[in-house]
Structure 1
Amino acid sequence: MTPRQFTFADLRRILIEGAGEAEGVQLGQDKVDVTFADLGYESLAMLETGSRIEREFGVTLDDSEVIDAATPGDLIAVVNAHLAVPTAGTSA
């Protein structure tokens, strides 16, 4: 079974559901390497985003992992690293 992947589309949807979209910023794939600060998302919005990711994708993220992820690409990589680790009771 192929592990589930966390995509930019997933992140975009979760960010907008939890924190909205910053005025004047279109959160498109071209923003994958733009910092969350430049996109208008502060630490509280990122913690909410992390909580939503945990609930939807069944991973546990340290707050520091979410806050230290400077860009959408960084956060996508962090989540996918957690998704790649088999959980107890599953086979790789």
Structure 2
Amino acid sequence: MNTFDLDELRGILRGMGGADEAALDGDIAETEFGYLGYDSLALLELCNQLERRYSIQISDDAVLNMPTPAKAVEYVNSLLMAEERA
């Protein structure tokens, strides 16, 4: 089973650049993306990266389901599980 975790998310965010990478250190799971320096456009880019990397389909409004890294990991894992069941 494919799973996605916080460290993978952190790596993708670091690869995207544009925000202070030091903000990604430590326990960021419940910190809102805006406080980490990522705006809605950055979150759409994150979704694009996740779609390419994991061959999943993420709707544009999915960012509403992912206000924090923990919620993003949870959401992506739910898509991966649904894909495996299909």
TM-score, normalized by length of structure 1? 0.81
Aligned to 2:23, the other structure's residue is in SS state coil
Q: Note if contact 1:21-1:27 (Cα within 8 Å) is conserved in structure 2.
A: no
Q: CA deviation at 1:21?
A: 5.8
Q: Note if contact 1:36-1:72 (Cα within 8 Å) is conserved in structure 2.
A: yes
Query: Which 4+ runs in 1 deviate beyond 4 A?
Result: none
Aligned identity (percent) is 33
Q: Note if contact 1:53-1:59 (Cα within 8 Å) is conserved in structure 2.
A: yes
Counterpart among 8, 12, 23 of residue 10 in structure 2: 12
Provide the aligned C-alpha RMSD in A.
1.8
Residue in 2 that maps onto 1:44: 41
More helix by share: 2
Q: How many residues align?
A: 85
Counterpart among 52, 58, 62 of residue 59 in structure 2: 62
Please list every run of 5 or more consecutive structure 2 residues that lacks an aligned counterpart in the other structure: none
Residue in 2 that maps onto 1:80: 77
TM-score, normalized by length of structure 2? 0.86
Please list every run of 5 or more consecutive structure 1 residues that lacks an aligned counterpart in the other structure: none
